[in-house]
Amino acid sequence: MSVSHNSLPNFILASASPRRKELLDRIGASFEILPADVEEDEEGDADPEAMVRGNAALKANWVADRHPQRFILGSDTTVHLDGKVFAKPTDMEAATRMLLRLGGRTHVVYTGVALVCREAGVSEVIGVRSEVTFKPLDEAVIGRYFEIVNPLDKAGAYGIQEGTDLIIEQFEGSHSNIMGLPLDETKAMLERHRLI
């Protein structure tokens, strides 16, 4: 017996990020999760917006190749300062170094979002940017922050939703973008295709 499309969630999220799941849950989206098994481009001197848009499309297309009749949402986020991208740190020492470099400075957070459906001929990619200004940081403050937050699964070694008062002075732009998925832009994209 074949399963009708209507009994499936409206789209697949090509990401294992708990923050992206939480954000999509906030807008009542109907989706399932299938993380893309891809090697992301995280070159340190890459153009950050082109990089996240490319990675978002890479993830969405990997899942779309396996589910051509479904809508796939892919996303990627990075932190950018002084011409360098700050990907997820490899260990706690690298995480500490990242936050020391970001301390007292304003950096840019870029997120790319891709929506792909082979059967419907849909392939859309957008890029969104926000700015975050950190308080001056030292190793003692960073140590306290790491007691609250695991930096190893986060671009730039931080998350805006926990321990914010310790490290963040202010931000401009989309708060959800800094978390990893710009909700207003993503919602508009999903609404255009009647996925929410």
Q: Which residues are catalytic?
A: 76
Distance CA(127)–CA(124), nearest Å, equals 10
Q: Are the C-beta atoms of residues 112 and 49 closer than 8 Å to each other?
A: yes
* Sequence-ordered strand ranges (E) for the chain: 11-13, 31-33, 71-81, 84-86, 106-117, 122-134, 168-172
Positive or negative: CA dihedral 20, 32, 76, 129: negative
Say if residues 128 and 60 touch (Cβ distance below 8 Å): no
Which residues on neighbouring strands pair with residue 80, listed in sequence order? 85, 108
Asked if 91 and 146 count as a contact pair (C-beta separation under 8 A), the reply is no
